[in-house]
Amino acid sequence: MGLSKANNASIKALESVLGFPFKDPSLLRLALVHASYCNENGLDPSESYERLEFLGDAVLELAISTELYRRFPDADEGELTKTRSSLVRRETLAQIARRIDLGSFLIVGKGVEVTNGHQQDSVLAAAFESLVAAIYLDQGNEFTRQFILNLMDAELNQAEQAGGPPENPKSRLQEVVQGQGLNPPTYRLVSSDGPDHDPVFTVEVLVNDLVVGTGTGGKKSDAEGAAARAALAALSGNV
């Protein structure tokens, strides 16, 4: 594959972090190759982790779905779906990838490396899904299921203690506002600062043309959520 960066030492180092050796190290190596590296080095896209990402997404969903079905015997389909979505969303998977420092092992193009793009949520989440697929192909379903549950134990326990997924602040704000007979909230982007790979968005939420909350975040949606939480605190004392 011509992947000089993916030397045996780096593979061994990641295996040490994971706590087990791969039967086929080439699967682990493939799970680390970002498409940007292939683009810059004239490699076929199939030599990146994108196909593994597709499979890993399904493996993750099955493992988490099965575990939630077991842990929440009284939850209906809608509640289970919301909880699963909160656990397999990009931000959660990126957080877990950072837990094992996955970004430092990724093989990326120079452009991505210079901008620190290998630490972005989208890249880390995709790489984690690819890693899951590589483990699944190398070690089998039951081993992979236990790997996922062990690594996501804190998130699963948090969801169990909360009785489900964390409440969406934007949905909650809309309920509070409508309950008070006010117009639905609207969100206004105030500013976008910082470099492309690490932006900071500032958003205001307005009700009846009045600003009732302001929030910031690395994504516009995060800033909107923070603004909604601030508005909830102002309007109803809920955080």
Q: Does residue 162 come out as left (phi exceeding 0), alpha (psi in the -120 to 50 range) or beta?
A: alpha
Going by C-alpha positions, the residue among 221, 57, 186 that lies closest to residue 130 is 57
- What's the CA angle centered on 179, arms 174 and 181, to 5 degrees? 100
User: Mapping DSSP to helix (H, G, I), strand (E, B) and coil, where does residue 208 land?
Assistant: coil
Strands 186-193 and 210-217: unpaired
Rounded CA gap, 234 and 239, in Å? 9
List % helix, strand, coil for the chain (3-state, nearest 5).
Answer: 65, 10, 25
Q: Are the beta carbons of 185 and 177 closer than 8 angstroms? A: yes
Q: Supply the residues annotated as catalytic.
A: 57, 129
